[in-house]
């Protein structure tokens, strides 16, 4: 990975070491233990060089260009990548996002792994932007969840940010989330909250609630963030009236683009949408080889 790519990743909050690990797993999955592309080795001379363009095949929001660059650079230090678009920008069909130049074998070897990550991240960013645009001008922000593709969480959550969404927690380690099973096992909201606070005094605590009474209990116990699970808009308004201003409020469960404005109008701070990361279609991006041979 070049210093320029490392700097680009750090600039958007991605750890280059973590990205390099994802890239290595992705390439190993495609190339096997011998790191071999049998078709390219068989059909293309080792000395042949060419250029190729990464081209959008549909309109959407691009995300992950530096990640794609890291894939090409991991395959061969002889590959040069020139990025022509900016993550978070809207592109149209035919937009050239990047140009890659180098040994033709290496370009084709890296192609699918780079595109798999770039298309996936851009799809998440595109879907997120639809939500962000709908909520623009309201009090609410769109929030992602932990329903991510195993091994790709940091990339998908970055893509949410690139699309205009918000990350609240990365995993089970950085924020405590007291859900129904925790409440049941601990003997109630207050008991669960007090145990978390005693064990991890510096960790933010979120509490899932399903009634106004639970919301009031959680805030009284000290919670400053509530996840309002599967509440209809009228019930959300009651919760906002009861505890609004004392805790951040997140509506979750069954939300759709068609109902987003209705839920945002209740006064909650966030609408969390698992579909941003578990159900976004990819943005179609291809690599076009510009060979002169």
Exactly one of 87, 111, 208, 214 is catalytic; name it: 208
Exactly one of 214, 229, 250, 269 is catalytic; name it: 229
Exactly one of 179, 180, 288, 290 is catalytic; name it: 179
Q: Is 147 a catalytic residue?
A: yes
Q: Is 168 a catalytic residue?
A: no
Exactly one of 147, 195, 237, 246 is catalytic; name it: 147
Q: Is 179 a catalytic residue?
A: yes
Q: Give the Cβ contact number of residue 138 at 10 Å.
A: 15
Exactly one of 112, 146, 195, 197 is catalytic; name it: 112
Q: Is 21 a catalytic residue?
A: no
Catalytic residues: 112, 147, 179, 208, 229
């Amino acid at each position: 990975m070049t210093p320029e790519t490392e700097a680009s990743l750090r600039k958007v909050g991605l750890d280059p070491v973590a990205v390099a690990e994802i890239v290595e797993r992705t390439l190993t999955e495609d190339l096997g233990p011998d790191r071999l592309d049998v078709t390219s080795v068989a059909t293309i001379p080792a000395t042949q060089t060419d250029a190729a363009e990464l081209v959008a095949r549909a309109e959407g929001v691009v995300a992950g260009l530096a990640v794609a660059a890291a894939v090409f650079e991991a395959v061969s230090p002889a590959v040069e990548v020139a990025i022509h678009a900016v993550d978070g920008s809207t592109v149209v069909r035919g937009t050239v996002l990047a140009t890659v130049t180098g040994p033709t074998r290496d370009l084709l070897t890296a192609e699918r792994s780079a595109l798999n990550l770039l298309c996936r991240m851009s799809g998440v960013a595109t879907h997120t932007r639809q939500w962000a645009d709908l909520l623009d001008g309201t009090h609410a922000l769109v929030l992602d969840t932990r329903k991510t593709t195993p091994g790709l969480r940091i990339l998908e959550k970055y893509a949410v940010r690139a699309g205009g969404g918000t990350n609240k927690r990365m995993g089970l380690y950085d924020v405590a989330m007291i859900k129904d099973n925790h409440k049941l096992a601990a003997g109630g909201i207050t008991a669960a909250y007090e145990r978390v606070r005693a064990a991890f005094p510096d960790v933010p605590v979120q509490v899932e609630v399903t009634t106004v009474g639970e919301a009031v209990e959680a805030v009284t116990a000290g919670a400053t963030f509530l996840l309002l699970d599967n509440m209809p808009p009228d019930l959300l308004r009651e919760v906002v009236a009861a505890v609004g201003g004392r805790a951040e409020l997140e509506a979750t469960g069954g939300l759709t683009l068609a109902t987003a404005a209705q839920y945002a109008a209740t006064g909650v701070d966030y609408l969390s949408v698992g579909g941003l990361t578990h159900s976004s279609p990819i943005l179609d991006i291809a690599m076009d080889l510009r060979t002169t041979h």
